[in-house]
Amino acid sequence: MHARLGKRLAAARQRHFVGRSAELELFRMALGRDDPDVAVLHIHGPGGMGKTSLLREFAQIAEEAGRSHVPLDGRNLDPSPAGFMAALHKALSLAPDAAPLDALAATPDLVLFLDTYELVAPLDVWLRDSFLPQLPEGTLVVVAGRQPPASAWRAEDGWGALTRIISLRNLRPDESAVYLRDRGLSAQEAAQVLDVTYGHPLALSLAADLLAQHRAAGAIDLRRDPDILHLLLERFAAEVPDATLRQALEICAHAFGTDEALLARCLGKEQAHAAFQWLRGLSFIEQGPHGLFPHDLAREVLEADLRWRDQTRFDQLHDQVRTCIIQRVVESSGWAQQTAIFALLFLHRNNPFMRPFYAWQTFGQLYIDRATPADLALIEQLILRHQGPESLAVARHWLPRSQSAFYVFRAAGGVLAGFCQVLDISQLDADDLAADPAMPAAVACLQPAAPPRQGERILYFRNWMDVEGSQRSPSIFNMCAMISIRSFFTTPRLAYSFIAQEFSDEYAEMFAYLRMPLAPAAGFAIDGRTFGAFAHDWRAEPVLEWLRVMGERELLDEVVALEALPHPQQPVALSEPEFAEAVRQALKQAGRPDLLAQSPLLRSRCLRDRSEQEPTPALLQAALREGADTITASPRTQKLHRVLWHTYFEPAPTQEAAAELLGLPFSTYRHQLGRAVEQLVAWLWQQELYGVTRELSSGAADSPPKFDTN
């Protein structure tokens, strides 16, 4: 049987693992039950201390001893009991209907590893009091995190008798020397490194990486500094010998996950493979299901260093990565699209307006699905329990209607973690208005604005919650954001969107930042609670224009007043008669840029889609000429083009003179001019409705948008 690549990877890692003899011996004793009182090993230490490497070594020892082992990582699970059980279900590769605890009961010699424990701190009491006591007697649990364990783990009358606490510190000088020798450093180079790293594991590996690319003696010339890790990372990034590799490192530090495809889009196909392999070999770069990513300390340092050194370069990098991600959102579907949307959200991670609302580390533990009849029964129970009978009656009104869509968020094993309800309210009847207090309020909000045009769609994100009933769950907020963004991309002729949210000042500020301000007239009350409705006019600011503005806001790194943020000139959404009249007026002023500067068409979609800059009279003139030129496509209509041209673009002194120039009776000339203007108006109107480039994916015009879950 051929050896798996994972074996080679484990062997390569093991070759570079040194030291920690006392920790390894303690683990072997606990594993072999030489110390029957050890049930939990609790390892703690600062970031970069080698906790994950030690757990990998423990796993290798457990495997050699014939013990089953299950690795969990706090970065990849939702810090809730349901999220933890879902992650365990996935790690055990169980059938959808299998129970993790039943599987563990059948594995009495299990070793359970839980890394990055600081990210699941909310579960500490539940794990200690509820989950761990249910495990088989012979189970060994190994926990690793940055913080020392809570005092309850030390209590003599409880877990203290079964727990061994390991405070992980720097490697000893002899251990560090062995590691550096194995990395190929000379005795002189090793002495230099030891002099500045003091045996810090990640610093040692970074210094070895730095010397590997910069072999000259004396290259590590760093002052003694308690923040040596930052200095080494900054030095490493600055001295990457190749500009392409340096850019690849910057991309990896900025993006949620980096694969060859992302590098190919940013660097070019001919550079991507070599850059990916180089990144893969760096000591501080890890790999996961979504590609390569840096150690969290390395990401923070590399990002901050680039931003400090060259803000312009940082902004360019952000735009480059962001453009690639948006392209993925447009081109992909299903799980790949969910990943791309989250990668887009991840670019907001340092933004002070958005940081509190997302749970970056929980992505991947939930997936989006259409609700089944069994789900709907559970959703009804949740709404009744957490909101009340009036809200339940509203939900029951919408459940059987075709314009209603309920999406659920599932953890591994199909466990329901939350839901989101999306309505298409383009066509409301009297029953809808009577049954749901949100609907008359929405209609009242739309009446003063330009009313929706024929065939345009209005989406209403009506309700959402996690199973605990909260609208403040960051992991569920992740999923709702994915549904909303995908709906904005894929709903044809989307005119408006509303998002209902139990009102709070913090959510009002967040939605205002997202250019979805509170619509006061659309608010409503139900079951004794006040809900705000946050609205956006997608005709005035289409999705790609909105994303462009949000791209500028993503780069904020400190809280500023919303009024101080750039606010592009508000576009307009003209009705069809208003649009037609504006085109006719613009034709009459085609030779007068000073008059065209006042045209409402400059704020219309058909002009704004043509340029990343603010539309100008020259752009309007070009659009009118382009529309006139389309009429020449057919020999039958070329005469209409000539009529337009000599009336508006190279005009005769009068219309009578134009008719004489064209050799037409004046009545025929007037008839042809009317037809030509109608065709030009119709051509521009289609662009106003659908965009100059069809950036929104097509879908059935008579059904709500469907989230592709394939």
Q: What is the pLDDT of residue 708?
A: 45
Angle, vertex CA 663, rays to CA 659 and CA 669, nearest 5:
40
Q: Same structural domain for residues 533 and 418?
A: yes
Q: What is the pLDDT of residue 450?
A: 58
Q: What is the CATH number of the domain that holds 77?
A: 3.40.50.300
Q: Same structural domain for residues 165 and 313?
A: no
- SS3 of residue 371 by DSSP: coil
Q: Same structural domain for residues 193 and 270?
A: yes
Contact 208, 185 (CB under 8 A): yes
Q: Same structural domain for residues 197 and 119?
A: no
> Which one of 535, 564, 593 terminates a domain?
564
Q: What is the pLDDT of residue 695?
A: 37
Q: What is the pLDDT of residue 593?
A: 87
Contact 488, 537 (CB under 8 A): no
> Which one of 331, 357, 391 terminates a domain?
331
Q: What is the pLDDT of residue 113?
A: 94
- Sheet containing strand 524-526, edge to edge, reads 367-370, 404-410, 416-424, 457-466, 494-502, 529-537, 524-526
Q: Same structural domain for residues 440 and 384?
A: yes
Q: What is the pLDDT of residue 704?
A: 39
Total domains, the chain: 4
Residue 447's φ and ψ, nearest 5 degrees, are -60, -45
**Domain membership flag for residue 356:** no
pTM, rounded to two decimals: 0.62
Contact 616, 608 (CB under 8 A): no
**Domain membership flag for residue 273:** yes
Q: Same structural domain for residues 559 and 584?
A: no
**Domain membership flag for residue 348:** no
Q: Identify the burial level of 702 via C-beta atoms within 10 angstroms of its C-beta, where 0-12 means exposed, 13-18 middle and 19 or more buried.
A: exposed
Contact 413, 96 (CB under 8 A): yes
Tokens, residue 363: 């992505």
**Domain membership flag for residue 486:** yes
Q: What is the pLDDT of residue 119?
A: 83
Structural domain containing residue 492: 367-564
Q: Same structural domain for residues 134 and 183?
A: no
Distance CA 572, CA 539 (A): 8
Q: Same structural domain for residues 259 and 314?
A: yes
Q: Same structural domain for residues 452 and 518?
A: yes
> Which one of 145, 169, 193 terminates a domain?
169
Q: Same structural domain for residues 46 and 127?
A: yes
Q: What is the pLDDT of residue 601?
A: 87
Q: What is the pLDDT of residue 120?
A: 83
Q: What is the pLDDT of residue 23?
A: 86
Tokens, residue 674: 């009317």
Q: Same structural domain for residues 371 and 420?
A: yes
Segments of the chain scoring below 70 in pLDDT? 1-16, 33-36, 157, 195-196, 198, 212-232, 235, 239, 297, 359-364, 412-413, 449-451, 559, 562-572, 612, 633-634, 690-710
List Cβ<8 Å contacts ≥24 apart for 213-216. 213/239, 213/240, 213/241, 214/239, 214/241
Q: Which helix (H) or strand (E) holds 114?
A: strand 111-115
**Domain membership flag for residue 351:** no
Beta-carbon contacts of 408 under 8 Å, excluding residues fewer than 6 positions away, are 368, 369, 370, 371, 375, 379, 416, 418, 419
Instruction: Provide the phi-psi class of 384: left if phi over 0, else alpha when psi is between -120 and 50, else beta.
Output: alpha
Q: Same structural domain for residues 117 and 30?
A: yes
